Chain A
Amino acid sequence: QVQLQESGPGLVKPSETLSLTCTVSGGSISSYYWSWIRQPPEKGLEWIGYISYSGSTNYNPSLKSRVTISIDTSKNQFSLKLNSVTAADTALYYCARETTSVRGVRLLDYWGQGTLVIVSS
């Protein structure tokens, strides 16, 4: 059973960089895409971006100037960096595995439990 676990600081100061890591267990990080999604308190889901096992990335244009997603296949981990954070970046951050269904549709089939990041001084 594939499991994902987010880790990183729960509190980040405004203007600093948010850094999170997702560790994948129960399966290889190879051959899939790996996404970050966030959910501000009492709000809906926002896709941040994904990285492939080979390192190609695709970011949400709304965050593109501030986001970097990287992957370390030797550790079965991928990471998120979001710089110049503000209070608006306070959210639950989820990592997830993205795959392609037999019908050719991309979907998020395994998710981490999420980690709350608060941006505050």
Chain B
Amino acid sequence: DIQMTQSPSSLSASVGDRVTITCRASQSITKYLNWYQQKPGKAANLLIFAASSLLSGVPSRFSGSGSGTDFTLTISSLQPEDFATYYCQQTYSTPWTFGQGTKVEIK
């Protein structure tokens, strides 16, 4: 299985801050990386697919980058509705695997 490791596991930030979350794969997954946002008690919502493509309707303050083994999700200016847990997911090979999640909390 491909292991996905996110860092940090949690972070505290203020509204307006720039936030960066990293995701590392245990082997190259080229561009096969998706990012999801999950709020408490809710299903996950797709934000970014193929490492850097923003899903239609997702605010442009979200961006993704990377390829191979190292990927980044950036929120350019954190908004109150962005406080949530973020997961990366690889779909390079089955079993699809997720990172352990990064919880973004209010400072």
- Report yes or no: A113 in contact with B43, Cβ–Cβ below 8 A: yes
Q: Are A103 and B97 neighbours in the complex by a CB distance under 8 Å? A: no
A60 B53 Cβ-Cβ under 8 A:
no
Q: A47, B96: Cβ atoms under 8 Å?
A: yes
Instruction: List B33-53 residues whose CB lies under 8 Å from chain A.
Output: 33-34, 36, 42-46, 49-50, 53
Q: Give the distance to chain B from A3, nearest Cβ to Cβ, in Å.
A: 11
A44 touches B87 (CB 8 A): yes
Task: Taking A59-B95, A105-B32 as given, write out 20 further A-B residue pairs in contact, using a Cβ cutoff of 8 Å, ordered by the A residue number.
Answer: A44-B87, A45-B44, A47-B95, A47-B98, A58-B94, A60-B95, A61-B95, A62-B95, A94-B43, A94-B44, A101-B49, A101-B50, A103-B50, A105-B91, A106-B96, A108-B34, A108-B44, A111-B45, A113-B42, A114-B43
Among A103, A104, A106, the most chain B Cβ lie within 10 Å of the Cβ of A106
Inside 8 A of A46's CB, which chain B residues have their CB?
A: 98
Number of chain B residues whose Cβ lies closer than 8 Å to a Cβ of chain A: 26
Nearest chain A CB to B76's CB is how many angstroms away?
23
B2: min CB distance to chain A, Å: 11
Query: How many Å lie between the Cα of A47 and that of B36 in the bound state?
Result: 14
Q: Which residues of chain A come closer than 8 Å to B32, judged between CB atoms?
A: 105-106
Cβ-based interface call for A14 (8 A): no
With an 8 A cutoff between CB atoms, is A109 at the interface? yes
B interface list, Cβ under 8 A from A: 1, 31-34, 36, 42-46, 49-50, 53, 55, 87, 89, 91, 94-101
Per-position binary interface string of chain A over residues 75-87, scored 1 when its CB falls under 8 Å from any chain B CB and 0 otherwise? 0000000000000
User: Do B31 and A103 have beta carbons less than 8 Å apart?
Assistant: yes
Residues on A with beta carbons closer than 8 Å to the beta carbon of B97: 47
Q: Shortest beta-carbon distance, A44 to chain B, in Å?
A: 5
A105 in complex: contacting residue of B1, B31, B99, CB < 8 Å: B31
30 A-B pairs with CB atoms under 8 Å apart are A44-B87, A44-B98, A44-B99, A45-B87, A45-B98, A47-B98, A49-B95, A60-B95, A61-B1, A62-B95, A94-B44, A96-B43, A101-B49, A101-B53, A103-B50, A103-B53, A105-B31, A105-B49, A105-B91, A106-B91, A106-B96, A107-B49, A107-B89, A107-B91, A108-B46, A108-B89, A111-B44, A112-B43, A113-B42, A113-B43
